[in-house]
Amino acid sequence: MAEVKCEICGRYFKRLPTHLRVHSLNTLEYLSLYPGSNLYSEEHKQNMSRNTSGIKNSMYGKHHSCESKEKIAQTKIGNKEIGEKISRAMKVSAKRGREHHMFGKKHSPEVIKTLSEKAIARLVNGFNLHANHKKGYFFSRKNNKNIWYDSSYELRAFELLEIDESVVQFSRNKIRVPYVFEGVQRFCLPDLLVTYIDGTTKIIEIKPKRKIRLIPKEGTKIDFMSIYFEDTKTSFEVWTERELGLLEDK
């Protein structure tokens, strides 16, 4: 294949940077989502090389002035300093135990509620770049748009819903559900809103079964969501490995 594939929509191009604007991403954001991906086809790279080599190079037969060399050297020093600052900041942020600024402390209920609301807002507005799982865009022909997924489980759900003939459309859910954990009110956002051909709708939460079983907070969320949607007479389901057709990790 002489072209490179866009990992978001699956289409092929000679160069991706311009196309990525369609997905509201720049090259750095794209590479952070899909490390190691190619941005240019081999043919395009060869053309760029031919167009910038020999007499076609803008610096052919020229030399940098002393002032230009000094600016280049200063830029390199500046970039190195910036890199060192970032490295130090990352080391500080990675501190654990007694060195961490929150060691022995807890957020107040007000702060927890605020953080929860901000996390919900990020999800409602499109996607959550802070997720630590496989994430990206799934192009749905059924919806004629890209839909953000935060995990491989969500991606699997999108693929199943896309081929399910009884499904008219599906999208990220925007209904916030209040719940209480450790005496503090928080909010959670079930994953999907699905509309079926008979006009019915369903809210779907996608979660690994082991996560529900082993993490008390996740189990509490599920309990509150079940009660909330039962009270509002809204159909609600939790999709784990069984519903997704995946094998659960033991």
Tell me the pLDDT tens digit for each residue of 78-109. Answer: 556 656 655 565 555 555 455 555 566 666 77
Is it the case that residue 129 has pLDDT exceeding 50?
A: no
- The residue among 189 and 68 whose pLDDT is bigger is 189
Parallel/antiparallel/unpaired status of strands 184-188 and 192-196: unpaired
Query: What are the φ/ψ torsions at residue 104 (nearest 5 degrees)?
Result: 80, 5
Span(s) in the chain for CATH 3.40.1350.10: 109-244
122-141 burial: b if 16+ Cβ within 10 Å, else e:
ebeeebeeeeeeebbbbbbe
CATH number of 109-244: 3.40.1350.10
Which range in 51-65, 128-142, 181-195 is most confidently predicted, on average pLDDT?
Answer: 181-195
User: How many residues appear in the chain?
Assistant: 250
User: One-letter amino acid identity for 99?
Assistant: E
71, 77, 89, 90, 210 from 81: Cα distances, Å:
15, 6, 12, 14, 45
Predicted local distance difference test score (pLDDT) of residue 51: 65
Q: How far apart are CA 161 and CA 191, in angstroms?
A: 13
Global pTM reads 0.50
Query: What are the φ/ψ torsions at residue 51 (nearest 5 degrees)?
Result: -80, -10
Going by C-beta distance under 8 Å and a sequence separation of 6 or more, which residues neighbour residue 152? Answer: 133, 134
15, 51, 83, 140 from 158: Cα distances, Å:
27, 43, 39, 8
Percent of the chain whose predicted confidence (pLDDT) is above 90: 27
- Residue located via tokens 């050297």: 73
